[in-house]
Amino acid sequence: MTLFSRKRAGLGVLGVAVVIASLTPAGGLAAGREIYLDSRASAERRVEDLLRRMTLEEKIGQMAQIRVGKLRGDCNNVNGPLVDSCLKAVLADAHVGSILSGGGDAPLDNTPRAWAEMNNAIQRYALENNRLKIPIIYGSDGVHGHNNVISATMFPHQIGLGATWDPGLQEKIGVSASKALRATGVFWNFAPVSDIARDTRWGRYYETYSEDPFLSGQLAAANVRGQQARVDDTAQLTATAKHFAGYSAPANGHDRAAAQVPIRQLQDLVLPSFQAQFDAGVKTVMINSGSLNGVPVHASKYMLQTQLRDRMGFKGVAVSDWQDMKYLVDRHKVAPDYKTAIAMSVNAGVDMAMEPSNAAEFTSLLLANVRDGSVSRGRIDQAVRRVLKLKFDLGLFEKPYVDPAKADGNVVNADRSLARQAAAEGTVLLKNDGVLPLSSAAKKIVVTGETADDVRRQLGGWTVEWQGVPDDSPLPPTATVLTGVREAVPGASVVHAPTQAAAVAEADGADAVVVVLGEKPGAEGPADTENPVLTAEQQAWVDAVQATGKPVVVVLLTARPQVLGAAADANALVAGWLPGSEGGRAIADVLFGAVNPGGKLPISWPKALGDPTLTYDQLPGANTSAGAKYDPLYAFGHGLSYTSFTTSGTTVSVDRRDGVVKFTVANTGARAGTAVVPVYVRQPASPVLTPDARLVGFTRVELAAGQSKQVEVSFKLSQLALTVGDVDGDGRREVARGGYEAVVGAEKATFTVR
């Protein structure tokens, strides 16, 4: 028997209402005996009431998260309809509290309505087959929208959003993604990525916002606020701060490779972006799959208790990443068997295991650990208390279901104008020798390059499936650069030249040639590269077109800042990143001047292949040889405009806790535009090595031609804290007293911390 198929799926609206009514007491009838079912009681009271009613086996089940593939087909991660026996094994027998979709796990019909019906069916089975009526929570990696759903709007990946320097935009995107996910019954989103971009070889570089912890933290916190906002009548969604912590610093550049991160780097660079999200109220955190200084993070009590809980104040649910407890045995080799690995991880502070394939094994081994004293009952209660509070806080006990009839309307092509705005704001004009903007009166434009009309490359990894849109999948509705250019100049002859030879031939008589370059899509380890450089073929393509003498605009749709080689000599360079569903239209908006580019690099663009870890905040050294100093092709914060801006009159004032920097921004050009102005602090002398500049704030200022505005940017003096002490210090952080400089553009203003 199957519970879900293409023809029959879950509950109708009336059925949903009936079940919900049966779970929620009318008036106060059940409140006296079952406080946990009384929505008027506090979440804390409800948790304690429910916890005391649960058996040990039921508690342990709440600590397991299992892949949806275990509920369908042959119960072994094969796509197919939900099957009663599979559901029973996971939800009834093992009491599992959470289900997830890995990259590519979707219903047979990958439509929003089918997602909603599938999740309703899973939820219904869970509620009808556990005596305490505890709802499951369904999780998914919605890292750039509801990206597992073919018809969903794919937003730019995070590296492109980082280039917007626009927290308000990130909040709107968070709201949009959350609305789409919740409409299909997904109430746990494994996003945003909080790691910072420190090595271009790393396959997840494009999933980060920036190399800078402050910028990353501000954008991620805004995204969290958007995702967790209460904006409609479904249960709430929880975002996830991931991957705590040090995940993006593998020593050899390969995903999940061992990381060596000194305490100063950990506390001053890695953790601040997470702290911003904790302060924003993020409810869950996903733990780093890798090791840090010789200890797997998901087995580190120092990281998961001392840092995460005691120092940073996080109070929510800590979940492992994919199968990480088992990896303690067969990859990290710090545990002799799975039972021991489970005890190590749970005792360190992991509340829920993304197992994801064997519920019975995990729950039975954790039960054995409790019975033999390897894990205390108190630790189990602590973890389950957090899981239950999450479910109460989100409203899942009152609203466990969604209305499938509303799913398509909230997902299919939703908020595409917002996606277009995001892609345009994140487009960075790296170089312009006077060829941009292109004229809307152009007669002939040649569009060429491997990525000019390639949806898969433009959308990148984590789209429909883990490694990107598979070859046998329908393509998500996407405007490529070719599409965007054609729509921007409908009266021109826009020629698609799919090969280098065709591009050279068609350049004759063209007003300009747009060459769109990029990478094959990928994610995690398969996207690692030892050569983060444009391929020789792509460089030769640019060379050949340049030789025609026509104006050449290179558009880079890449997952990282690749070394450009010969492509750097093009007349204009535009970084479009992985811009999503509306990326082609957004880039055309910039190319033809409908949008004045305002994007700024959230990372440093390397000049040579030997610079994969080049960042603007590198520490000073004694070496004075060539290449020892910060000297990228394009610096952090770089980005050109079709107008010009100046800053002047910089002043700074401080009190015991805060600083305020005031200055005037003027548009000295002939076009309206948006100025992104970063504020840095320098410390001429410090007790330990300090970067030449640290970002403490920024602002976006929209100005008409000739207009000026006085603005102010505030910062907390605590942002200036450093980990002090000698090499063997105790990790203490403090704000050093003495003189500092606030830097805005070419100006600086001094202040003193007393």
Give Cα 421 to chain centroid, integer Å: 18
Helix then strand then coil, % of the chain, to nearest 5: 35, 20, 45
Task: Give the number of other CB atoms < 10 A from CB of residue 490.
Answer: 8
20-40: b or e for each residue (b if 16 or more CB lie within 10 Å)?
beebebeeeeebeebbbbbbe
Report how far apart the first and last C-alpha atoms of the chain are (Å, whole number): 73
One-letter identity of residue 170 = Q
Please tell me whether residue 232 adopts helix, strand or coil conformation. Answer: coil
Q: What tokens were used for 126?
A: 């869970």
- Nearest-angstrom CA–CA distance, 458 and 557: 6
Asked if 612 and 201 count as a contact pair (C-beta separation under 8 A), the reply is yes
Q: What tokens were used for 481?
A: 């650069």
Q: Tokens 């009808």: give the residue.
A: 128
In this structure, the chain runs to a length of 754
Q: What angle do CA 137, 138, 139 make, to 5 degrees?
A: 120
Which of 38, 166, 255, 321 is the catalytic position? Answer: 321
Q: What tokens were used for 294?
A: 């010789």
| Burial zone of 631 (CB within 10 Å; 0-12 exposed, 13-18 middle, 19+ buried) | middle
DSSP tag of 72: B
- Nearest-angstrom CA–CA distance, 401 and 28: 23
- Nearest-angstrom CA–CA distance, 109 and 599: 38
Asked if 168 and 182 count as a contact pair (C-beta separation under 8 A), the reply is no
φ and ψ of 245, to 5 deg: -150, 155
In the chain, count of helices (H) and strands (E)?
22, 25
Task: Examine the residue annotation and report whether 337 is marked as an active-site residue of this protein.
Answer: no
Task: Give the number of other CB atoms < 10 A from CB of residue 556.
Answer: 25
- Nearest-angstrom CA–CA distance, 516 and 482: 9
- Nearest-angstrom CA–CA distance, 718 and 694: 13
> In Å, how far are 137, 645, 714, 751 from 663, measured between CA atoms?
48, 13, 12, 15
| Burial zone of 547 (CB within 10 Å; 0-12 exposed, 13-18 middle, 19+ buried) | exposed
β 694-703/708-716 pair status: unpaired
One-letter identity of residue 609 = L
- Furthest-apart CA atoms within the chain: distance in Å: 83
Q: Tokens 């060539």: give the residue.
A: 626
One-letter identity of residue 154 = M
CA 745, 679, 423, 418 dihedral sign is negative
φ and ψ of 300, to 5 deg: -105, 110
- Nearest-angstrom CA–CA distance, 744 and 431: 22
Q: What tokens were used for 122?
A: 């899973």
DSSP state letters, 39-56:
TTS-HHHHHHHHHHH--H
| Burial zone of 279 (CB within 10 Å; 0-12 exposed, 13-18 middle, 19+ buried) | middle
- Nearest-angstrom CA–CA distance, 453 and 470: 16
Which of 294, 292, 295, 342 has the alpha carbon at shortest distance from 320? 342
- Beta-carbon contacts of residue 509 (< 8 Å; ≥ 6 apart): 443, 444
φ and ψ of 18, to 5 deg: -65, -45
Q: Please identify every residue annotated as catalytic.
A: 321
